[in-house]
């Protein structure tokens, strides 16, 4: 799950991930909603591919992309766990503060 | 926890940082003390069912907090937070890292920079913690390590939840 969060930090890349959540798509289909030069868009796809969030295959002159759900799920799981850790830690602090304020 | 206390947990800084916003129902001095005094940190810092054990605390620039999170079966996970800048009671910055029991920093694990800010919010206090890694790679490395421990504590919480649920069924 290298670099998953870096990949997801960008709105264009998040939109691509969301689109691929609905199913495979070609590069031109993916690029269509964005007002962006193709080389810039391909850079975004490169980041997503490097982070293993997506895979692509070329058939003739058409490149098709697909989502790697496992990578996304691992990142989500980590995020949920870290969130729970802080929530748990801070709920301890709530208890301590209530005790101290009461004294 | 009161349901209306603000809590946000975000990945920020282009995937290099975790930002946590949390509101507390107490004045700023009290919340500050809980973050900066060992005898108070020991009472809340580790998530349940882990506990916190301080070995050394010197809260001033150049000083450090050396502590362990201890599992119910007695396993100790040591860390060390080196304080850099301190501005009572507005905030502090520090360098976090995994260490051994003697306090030696583990050079193979990435260190993160903590930037903790305390702001009045009428009767409450808002604490913002930014945990910044020097690269997205470093954050990933920390993630890889945290995965197992986090999962264990999730499973333990689930056990608690089920116990509570069973108790109510009876």
What is the ipTM metric for this complex? Answer: 0.76
Distance between CA atoms of residues B60 and A4, nearest Å: 36
Inform me whether the C-beta atom of residue A98 falls under 8 Å from chain B C-beta atoms: yes
Q: Which domain holds residue A83?
A: 4-102
The strand order across the sheet containing A25-26 reads: A25-26, A62-67, A54-59
Question: What CATH number did the domain enclosing B118 receive?
Answer: 3.30.530.20
What's the confidence (pLDDT) of residue B156?
Answer: 44
Distance between CA atoms of residues B38 and B56, nearest Å: 8
Contacts 24+ apart (CB under 8 A), B98-103: B99/B66, B101/B55, B101/B68, B101/B76, B103/B55, B103/B56, B103/B64, B103/B66, B103/B78
- Out of A20-34, A81-95, B156-170, which region has the weakest mean confidence (pLDDT)? B156-170
Domain count, chain B: 1
What's the confidence (pLDDT) of residue B68?
Answer: 95
Distance between CA atoms of residues A61 and A42, nearest Å: 15
Name the most confidently modeled range: A15-19, A68-72, B141-145. Answer: A15-19
Would the pLDDT of A79 be above 60? yes
Per-residue pLDDT tens over the stretch B9-23: 887 776 678 888 999
What's the confidence (pLDDT) of residue B11?
Answer: 75
What is the least distance, in Å, from the CA of A53 to any CA of chain B?
Answer: 14
Residue B92 is assigned to a structural domain of this protein: yes
Would the pLDDT of A94 be above 60? yes
Q: Give mean pLDDT, residues A58-75.
A: 85
The residue ranking higher by pLDDT, A62 or B143, is: A62
Residue B2 is assigned to a structural domain of this protein: no
Inform me whether the C-beta atom of residue A85 falls under 8 Å from chain B C-beta atoms: yes
What's the confidence (pLDDT) of residue B158?
Answer: 37
What's the confidence (pLDDT) of residue B143?
Answer: 60
Q: Which of A36, A62, A63 is nearest to A49 (CA)?
A: A63
Residue B1 is assigned to a structural domain of this protein: no
Question: What CATH number did the domain enclosing A77 receive?
Answer: 1.10.10.10
Residue B112 is assigned to a structural domain of this protein: yes
Neighbouring C-alpha atoms within 13 Å toward the C-beta of A21: 10
Q: Which residues of chain B are under the pLDDT cut of 70?
A: 1-3, 14-15, 136, 139-170
Instruction: Give me A43's structure tokens.
Output: 């850079």
What's the confidence (pLDDT) of residue B144?
Answer: 58
Q: Give mean pLDDT, residues A46-71.
A: 89
What's the confidence (pLDDT) of residue B78?
Answer: 93
Distance between CA atoms of residues B156 and A83, nearest Å: 16
What's the confidence (pLDDT) of residue B1?
Answer: 46
What sign does the CA torsion over B30, B31, B32, B33 have?
Answer: positive
Distance between CA atoms of residues B71 and A83, nearest Å: 19
- Residue whose entry in the numeric block shows the structure tokens 């507005």: B90
Inform me whether the C-beta atom of residue A100 falls under 8 Å from chain B C-beta atoms: yes
Q: Which domain holds residue B100?
A: 7-169
Residue B80 is assigned to a structural domain of this protein: yes
Residue B146 is assigned to a structural domain of this protein: yes
Yes or no, beta carbons of B150 and A7 under 8 Å apart: no
Looking at chain A, which residue has its C-alpha nearest residue B33? Answer: A97
What is the least distance, in Å, from the CA of B61 to any CA of chain A?
Answer: 24
What's the confidence (pLDDT) of residue B136?
Answer: 67
What's the confidence (pLDDT) of residue B19?
Answer: 87
Yes or no, beta carbons of A87 and B151 under 8 Å apart: no
Maximum distance among all Cα pairs of chain B, rounded to whole angstroms: 55
The residue ranking higher by pLDDT, A33 or B160, is: A33
What's the confidence (pLDDT) of residue A10?
Answer: 79
Is the pTM higher than 0.90?
no
pLDDT band per the 50, 70, 90 thresholds, residue A8:
confident
Domain count, chain A: 1
Task: Kindly state the percentage of chain B with pLDDT values over 90.
Answer: 54
Neighbours of B122 (CB within 10 A): 5
Q: Considering CB atoms only, which of A10, A88, A101 is closest to B30?
A: A101
């Amino acid at each position: 799950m290298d670099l998953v969060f870096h990949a997801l930090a960008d709105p264009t890349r998040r939109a691509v991930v969301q689109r691929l959540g609905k199913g495979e798509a070609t590069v031109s289909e993916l690029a269509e909603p964005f007002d962006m030069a193709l080389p810039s868009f391909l850079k975004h796809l490169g980041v997503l591919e490097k982070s293993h969030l997506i895979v692509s295959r070329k058939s003739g002159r058409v490149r098709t992309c697909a989502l790697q759900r496992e990578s996304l799920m691992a990142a989500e799981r980590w995020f949920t766990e870290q969130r729970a850790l802080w929530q748990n830690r801070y709920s301890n602090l709530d208890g301590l503060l209530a005790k101290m304020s009461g004294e | 926890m009161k349901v209306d206390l603000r809590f946000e947990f975000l990945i920020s800084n282009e995937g290099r940082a975790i930002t946590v916003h949390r509101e507390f129902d107490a004045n700023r001095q009290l919340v500050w003390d809980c973050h900066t005094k060992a005898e108070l940190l020991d009472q809340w810092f580790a998530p349940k069912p882990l506990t916190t054990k301080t070995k050394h605390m010197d809260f001033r620039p150049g000083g450090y907090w050396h502590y362990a999170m201890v599992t119910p079966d007695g396993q100790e996970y040591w860390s060390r937070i080196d304080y850099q800048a301190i501005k009572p009671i507005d905030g502090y910055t520090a360098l976090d890292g995994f260490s051994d029991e003697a306090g030696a920093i583990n050079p193979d694990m990435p260190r993160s920079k903590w930037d903790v800010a305390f702001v009045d919010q009428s009767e409450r206090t808002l604490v913002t913690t930014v945990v910044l890694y020097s690269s997205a790679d470093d954050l990933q490395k920390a993630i890889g390590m945290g995965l197992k421990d986090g999962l264990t504590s999730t499973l333990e919480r689930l056990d608690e939840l089920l116990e509570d649920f069973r108790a109510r069924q009876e």
